[in-house]
Amino acid sequence: MSHRILVVDDEPNIVISLEFLLKKEGYVVAVAGDGEAALQQAGQFLPDLVLLDVMMPKKSGFEVCETLRANPALAGVKIVMLTARGRETEVTKGLALGADAYITKPFSTKELVARIKALLG
């Protein structure tokens, strides 16, 4: 059974690449445009991994990450955070809040896929 990945980003220009890429790798992909939509989707879609952008309207990636981690139904879900800011403090915060990986834009698609594969084992 193929893994399910939820892509959460408000920028369609990155979503298009991520969606295409992950589908090509054989994952089942769903997309959410902001934090609130992401939380709603997560409950129904029950992803194995969430690809989560930090800077988003309504709810930031950090808040989404925290909420997801607080939900026991989604205990096993992996979270990979994407950020456009390369500050170390932010990386530390993301990992502290329960993210499994932290990737800074711009990133290599190959690396991203490799990380996702590794996480989903």
Near other proteins by CB under 8 A: residue from 58, 73, 96, 107: 107
**101 Cβ contact list (under 8 Å, min separation 6):** 78, 79, 80, 81, 115, 119
**Strands of 9-119, DSSP E:** 28-32, 49-53, 78-83, 101-104
d(CA 29, CA 31): 7
- Would you say 82 and 111 are in contact if contact means Cβ atoms under 8 Å apart? no
Of 14-22, 31-39, 59-67, 93-101, which segment contacts other proteins by CB under 8 A?
14-22
Q: How far is the CB of 55 from other proteins (least distance, A)?
A: 8
Contact mark string toward other proteins, 54..93, x via CB under 8 A: -x--------------------------x-xxx-------
Query: Which residues form the interface with other proteins (CB under 8 A)?
Result: 11, 13-14, 16-18, 20-21, 24, 55, 82, 84-86, 104-110
